[in-house]
Amino acid sequence: MKVGIIGCGYVGLTTGVCLAEIGHYVICVDNDVEKIKKLLAGKTPIFEPGIEKLLKKNKRKLKFSTNIKEAVIGNDIVFIAVGTPSNPDGSPDLSYVESVSREIAKYLDDYKVIVEKSTVPVETAQWIKITIEKYKKNNNVKFDVVSNPEFLREGSAVKDFLYPDRIVIGVESERAKRIMLKLYSKIKAPKIVVDTKSAELIKHASNSFLAMKISFINAVANICELSGADVEKVALGMGLDRRIGKDFLRAGIGYGGSCFPKDVDAFIWIAEKIGYDFSLLKEVKKINQRQRELFVKKIEDSLWIVKDKTVGILGLSFKPNTDDIREAPSIYVIRSLRQKGAKIKVYDPKAMDKMKQLFQEIEYCNSPYEVAKNADCLVILTEWDEFRGLDLAKVKKLMLQPVIVDGRNIFDPETMQKFGFIYKCIGRS
């Protein structure tokens, strides 16, 4: 099939590359000239395992352009995969979705399925349809709007796309349903075909539920600290109950990234707008914020006076295997400690270039050991494998004080004690 994709972010690019991998002809469009230049040269603008390999492998089936017209004319399916950032009141900014819908309308030459891939509030498909109807030049041409939410995770995006738990397709016509099922026929996964509103809600409900699981276990972690229990053991015991499940029960510094914080906000906002006070989700958000504050307090408590102390930070990305720092806890931690006068040294295997655009006045190091040198405290914010394999004896020797505050529970407290560290982690002692 011939597919146009508008928006080459994590979702759009992964969708384009993976659809080419399963046999389709794809043109990916973005208005960022630099991004398209890179892609034309066979390079990815993002760090995501597997993407570059698929890009090279499928280069005959993949095209890139800055011209939106090319994503529409002559294609069977057009994906909208543009950003939906948060407004200050938590509502999603859908202006990109709107303007892209208008552009699509302009070039609609024949029947097409327009797929809403960006994460959007319930009822957006309806608005896309109204917009295209209003602005289309050729009154006789027909189209369908489909909601096909994406569930890929950064760091494992390709695998998640090609081997998903399920594919959700929200349609309002048999014709669109047939086309979407054909598009995904090579992917073996349950295909859930529902109405567009239910599909839109599945996405927000899924992300919010996962965020709720994380906030729940983080609240339990705080109770573990106060009572002397161990959250890792509690999570194991809970997770083996199949009704609960073991995933997303890792206690830590709280969730970040471009999805959970934004989607929780958007779900609270849309619920309110249509008449429901989603107080449970408001608490999920509060717990997540409090978790960061409690973590910074742990660092402060271990330093006594923060001013002029050197804090070494390992891990900047919001999670491992990505260079993405959007809503990363590291930003909050660095900002708080700098406000209190600490000197900050950092290291991350992939995210330092992005962080340099936010903070110029902190020290960027070439290795975890360089960070540890003369540090009063070492802080772990991302669970990169590289940190699990650290030579702890060497780290201890390099530090001014052997204090590690671990926001991801990557070490065993007993082992750390044996090494002579003062080791503070989340929900266990």
Interface residues with ligand UGA (CB under 6 A) are 119, 150-154, 207, 210, 214, 248-250, 252, 255-257, 259-260, 318-319
- Identify which of residues 58 and 119 has a Cβ nearer to ligand UGA in the complex: 119
Query: Least Å distance between CB 136 and ligand UGA?
Result: 30
Query: Least Å distance between CB 101 and ligand UGA?
Result: 21
- Identify which of residues 29 and 264 has a Cβ nearer to ligand UGA in the complex: 264
Query: Least Å distance between CB 250 and ligand UGA?
Result: 3
- Identify which of residues 260 and 411 has a Cβ nearer to ligand UGA in the complex: 260
- Identify which of residues 247 and 414 has a Cβ nearer to ligand UGA in the complex: 247
- Identify which of residues 22 and 205 has a Cβ nearer to ligand UGA in the complex: 205
Assigned token pair, 100: 């892209």
Query: Least Å distance between CB 157 and ligand UGA?
Result: 8
Query: Least Å distance between CB 253 and ligand UGA?
Result: 7
Residue 259 known to be catalytic: yes
Query: Least Å distance between CB 257 and ligand UGA?
Result: 4
Largest CA distance in the chain: 76
Round to whole Å and give the CA distance between 171 and 146.
5
- Identify which of residues 25 and 255 has a Cβ nearer to ligand UGA in the complex: 255
Range 289-297 contact pairs with CB under 8 angstroms and sequence separation of 24 or more: 289/254, 291/215, 291/218, 291/252, 291/253, 291/254, 292/253, 292/254, 292/329, 292/332, 292/333, 294/222, 295/253, 295/254, 295/329, 295/333, 295/405, 295/407, 295/426, 296/332, 296/333, 296/336, 296/337
Amino acid at 315: G
Round to whole Å and give the CA distance between 56 and 366.
30
Query: Least Å distance between CB 429 and ligand UGA?
Result: 20
Round to whole Å and give the CA distance between 145 and 153.
25
- 3 close to 75: Cβ distance less than 8 angstroms: yes
- Identify which of residues 203 and 424 has a Cβ nearer to ligand UGA in the complex: 203
From the list 8, 224, 259, 365, the catalytic residue is 259
Query: Least Å distance between CB 367 and ligand UGA?
Result: 23
Catalytic residues: 259
